[in-house]
């Protein structure tokens, strides 16, 4: 028999915010980058999102742009150390629903796989913490001097996530029709469409709009919203985006 898998995005799906933000703050603390990078380049986009004047994707992409430039010249050793510290200190700050789903999938013998746009060092640490079977994340390339060059292989977009899932299908002999996927942004859309049991966890407005436009996906997806200590399963039948 083929294996069943559960594919999890991390930022906003398992972890309650963006892990790359925590890495950025740690880099400032350890004086690997200048604090002005946050205040001048990232903070305005963050405040727009925080005040609900801008969308999460815009903030996240801005963070990625600044992070990519900031890590140039830094060694993987430093980033691995920071990633370990971030997960040690923040790794439990996850949604109750997602934590329980990971546990249930492990108990049922499913392959649990993280596919995240976060830096691969972070994804590795998060994967280890929750005893996942495999992971994929954004790769920041290293040059001949052994430092980050500024070139990347992204994993936050729909195309990259689709490619990774197909690689996992071959690697683990996975039956996608019986498998699960969990995501929260439009970057997770193809991942959600590829499996038989998709879940949108606290989805962005952009993702919900895409779901509502896709009749096939609408019929099979489950919408989960977790606020405070309550988890809601939402019906799309009477859902109106305002």
184-209 average pLDDT score: 94
pTM: 0.90
Residue 150's closest CA among 38, 39, 65, 26?
65
Q: Which residue matches tokens 């993280």?
A: 114
Note the pLDDT of residue 136. Answer: 96
DSSP string, the chain: -PBPEEEE--BTTTBSS-HHHHHHHHHHHTTSS-THHIIIIIHHHHHHHHTTSS-HHHHHHHHHHHHHHHTTT--HHHHHHHHHHHHHHHTT-B-HHHHHHHHHHHHTT-EEEEEEEEEHHHHHHHHHHTT-SEEEEEEEEE-TTSSEEEEEE--SSHHHHHHHHHHHHHHHTB-GGG-EEEE-SGGGHHHHHHSSEEEEES--HHHHHHHHH-HHHHHH-EEEEEETTEEEEE-STT----
Residue 184, in any domain of the structure: yes
How much is the pLDDT for 110? 98
For the cut 80, the answer to whether the pLDDT of residue 48 exceeds it is no
Q: What is the average pLDDT value for the chain, to the nearest integer?
A: 88
For the cut 70, the answer to whether the pLDDT of residue 49 exceeds it is: no
Question: Distance between CA 186 and CA 206 in Å, rounded?
Answer: 6
Would 189 be classed as within a structural domain? yes
Residues 195, 217: Cα–Cα separation, whole Å: 10
What is the reported pLDDT for 150?
85
Mean pLDDT of the region 84-89: 92
Q: Is residue 32 part of a domain?
A: yes
CATH number of the domain to which 14 belongs: 3.40.50.1000
Q: What is the mean pLDDT of residues 39-67?
A: 72
Q: Is the pLDDT of residue 242 over 70?
A: no
In degrees, to the nearest 5, what angle opens at C-alpha 24 toward C-alphas 21 and 27? 155
The count of domains in the chain is 1
The answer as to whether 240 is a domain residue is no
Does pLDDT of 111 surpass 70? yes
Residue 108: pLDDT over 90: yes
Question: What is the structure's pLDDT at 75?
Answer: 86
Query: Predicted confidence band at 231 (pLDDT cuts at 50, 70, 90)?
Result: very high
Mean of pLDDT values over 139-153: 90
Residue 242 belongs to a domain:
no
The CA distance from 95 to 38, in Å, is 26
**CA gap 13, 21 in Å, rounded:** 15
Q: What backbone phi and psi angles, to 5 degrees, belong to 112?
A: -110, 120
Domain extent, residue 198, equals 5-234
Q: Judge whether 135 lies within some domain.
A: yes
More confident residue, 66 or 131: 131
On the CB side of 28, how many CA atoms lie within 13 Å of its CA? 15
* Res. 53: pLDDT tops 70: no
Rounded to an integer, the average pLDDT of 27-49 is: 74
Please list the residues that pair with 3 across neighbouring strands.
174
The pLDDT score that the predictor gives to residue 97 is: 96
The two three-digit tokens of residue 179, written as one number: 């498998």
Does residue 16 sit within a domain? yes
Cα separation, 192 vs 211, in Å, equals: 10
Residue 123 is assigned to a structural domain of this protein: yes
């Amino acid at each position: 028999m083929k294996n069943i898998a559960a594919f999890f995005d991390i930022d906003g799906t398992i972890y309650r915010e963006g892990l790359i933000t925590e890495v950025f703050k740690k880099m400032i603390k350890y004086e690997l980058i200048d604090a002005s990078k946050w205040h001048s380049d990232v903070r305005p986009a963050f405040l727009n999102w925080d005040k609900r004047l801008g969308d999460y994707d815009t903030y996240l992409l801005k963070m990625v742009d600044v992070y990519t430039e900031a890590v140039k010249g830094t060694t993987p050793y430093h980033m691995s150390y920071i990633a370990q510290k971030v997960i040690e200190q923040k790794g439990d700050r996850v949604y109750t629903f997602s934590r329980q789903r990971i546990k249930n999938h492990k108990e049922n013998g499913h392959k649990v796989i993280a596919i995240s746009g976060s830096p691969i060092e972070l994804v590795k640490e998060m994967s280890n913490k929750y005893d996942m079977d495999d992971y994929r994340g954004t790769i920041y390339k290293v040059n001949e001097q052994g430092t980050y060059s500024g070139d990347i292989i992204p994993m936050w977009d729909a195309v990259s996530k689709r490619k990774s899932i197909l690689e996992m299908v071959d690697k683990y002999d996975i039956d996608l029709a019986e498998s699960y996927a969990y995501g929260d942004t439009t970057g997770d859309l193809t991942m959600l469409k590829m499996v038989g049991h998709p879940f949108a966890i606290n989805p962005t407005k952009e993702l919900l709009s895409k779901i509502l436009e896709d009749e096939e996906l609408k019929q099979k997806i489950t919408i989960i919203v977790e606020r405070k200590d309550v988890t809601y399963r939402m019906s799309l039948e009477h859902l109106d985006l305002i």
